[in-house]
Every structure is written in structure tokens, then in C-alpha cells.
Amino acid sequence: MKKPVGRQVRKLVYKLKLVVSTRLAFLFLFTLFYWVYYFIYQRANLQLSQVVFNFSAGVFTGAVAHVAVAKFIGPLLFGRCFCGWACWNASLFDFLPVRKPKRLLPEKYYMYKYVVLAAVLALPFLLIYAGFTFQGRSAQFKWLLIENAVIYGLGILLAFVLGDRRAFCKYLCPAGALMTITSPRSILKIEKNHLHCNRCRKCEEICPMDVPILNYISANQRVSDPECILCIECVKSCPKNCLTVGLGHKSDTTPEFGRSY
């Protein structure tokens, strides 16, 4: 005997709320850890620009270690999971009370974050040439505050203008651009299990990064889209339970028919 539709819907909503609240809790806790311990107590800047300052001074700890592990090597194992579960910027964006319907920009706008990445890496060279090194704890903290003020300002503005909490992550985030280099080769990915997909597109509707999940699933491929942040909201929202997080090496070829919007 089939379960009543109402009960199935309530169970689905409960599962979705559980994974969303768990992820937001992790985001909040990691953000608290980074800001209280690293940023305020240690006065250490862990962002991309600091990597250039550190390299120029022969320093390979702090930002260099963080970026290497979390933004370059880590994505080979778990994709852009950092963006979904541990990013101190995304923590603020995901808690924004955005009510405006989401406005999706053309795919070409995703390329802007690579321009920002180049600018973020080039600016420190200009500052070093001008005599600024940002090595002291006080100097690092000041630069950190300036960077985050710009990031939070742009992120909040884009979120409310486009009705999209993750707009900054998609279109302007330099760290996200760096992670897309290795994340498509990630061992951990969203994939289809043995159950039948009815193409309801609830997975794509719930996806905060607008990943064309159904394209990959229909092509019997693992979701290797570089924008996937492994938030697993699609897994929990699927009414047929046909999505899962898996380890393996199935075909990671991007579907030829591109994005679904």
C-alpha cells in the first residue's frame, strides 16, 4: 500500500530542512572558528591575495597552506565542498533574507570570476612594487578587513538585486574560480543510484548554484560541473531518492546539451 501523498511531502520537507539546517550550522561554526581564532586572535589573512604577499616574503604558512589544501588540493577529493560547508563569506550570504525571485544570468557571466581571480593575484604585485608587504599581524588584519568589506558589500548587493544568495559565488568569487580548476576531477561527486529518475527537476530547482544536474543524470554521468558545491540539497530534495553522494570514477564528460536554463 502506497503512503499518502501528504505524508510523503511532509517527510521530504523534513529531510530537506534537516540537511539545510545542518549545512548552515557547519557554515556558521566554521565561520566562527575562522573569524575568532585565525582572523581576530591570530590576525592572519587566509585569502588569495595574502598568498602573493607571503610568497614574496618567502613565507609558506598561513594563507599559502590554507589555499593549497582547501582551494586546490582539497577539491580533488571533495570538490567545492568548502564553498558549501565551510566558507566564511558564503555563511553570510546563505543567511540573507532574500525574497525576490531568482534572476539567472547567461552562462558567460560565470567567466567574470576568472577576471576577478586575475585581478586579485595582480593587485598584490602592484602593492609590493609600491612598498607594501602586509606581513605583520596588524597589516594582515587591516587588509583582511578591506577585502571582506568589498566581498560582503558586493555579495549582499548582488543577492538582493538578483534574488540569488549565491550570486557572488557564481559570478565574482576568485576562490571559487581557483577551485574550478581541480574540482571537476573530484573523487566525491553527486551521482545517480539504481532508482529511476522521473525528470521532475526538483534537484535543479533547489540547487543554489543552478547546476544542470538532470543533464548529467540523464547522460548516466556523475555531476562534474565545476559550480557544484556538494551541498547535497539536491540529494535530499529528490522525491524518488535517486541521487546519492558517491566515490568512484564513472564518466565525468560534460553533457553536450549544456545547461538546462
Report the pLDDT value the prediction gives residue 260, as an integer from 0 to 100.
34
| Angle between helix 112-129 and 48-56 (nearest 10) | 30
pLDDT at 193: 86
In DSSP terms, 247 is beta-bridged to: 188
Lookup: cell for 58: 618567502
Q: In this predicted structure, what is the pLDDT of residue 133? A: 87
The pLDDT of residue 98 is: 93
Residue 34 in grid coordinates: 575562522
Report pLDDT for 71: 94
Q: Do residues 234 and 190 lie in contact, with contact meaning Cβ atoms separated by under 8 Å?
A: yes
Helix axes 137-162, 48-56, angle to 10 degrees: 150
**CATH architecture for segment(s) 190-247:** 2-Layer Sandwich (3.30)
**Please, is 203 exposed, middle or buried when counting C-beta atoms within 10 Å of its C-beta (0-12, 13-18, 19+)?**
buried
| Full pLDDT tens readout for the chain, 261 residues | 445 555 554 554 544 455 568 888 999 999 999 999 999 999 999 999 999 999 999 999 999 999 999 999 999 999 999 999 999 999 999 999 999 999 999 989 999 999 999 999 999 999 999 998 899 999 999 999 999 999 999 999 999 999 999 999 999 999 999 999 999 999 999 999 877 888 999 999 999 999 999 999 988 899 999 999 999 999 989 998 899 998 875 545 444 333 333
What does DSSP assign to residue 4? Answer: P
What DSSP line would sit under 133-188, residue for residue?
Answer: ---SHHHHHHHHHHHHHHHHHHHHHHHHHHT-TTHHHHHT-HHHHHHTTTGGG-SE
Residue spans in the chain of domains classed CATH 3.30.70: 190-247
Tell me phi and psi for residue 243, to 5 degrees: -110, 150
162-186 burial string, b = 16+ CB within 10 Å, else e?
Answer: bebbbbbbbbbbbbbbbbbebbbeb
Dihedral of alpha carbons 66, 68, 71, 76, sign:
negative
Give the model's pLDDT for residue 7. Answer: 58
Tell me what pLDDT residue 33 has.
Answer: 95
Q: Which one, of 182, 8, 28, 179, lies nearest residue 93 by Cα?
A: 28
Looking at residue 142, its pLDDT comes to 93
* The pLDDT value given to residue 6: 57
How far does Cα 137 stand from its chain's mean position? Answer: 28
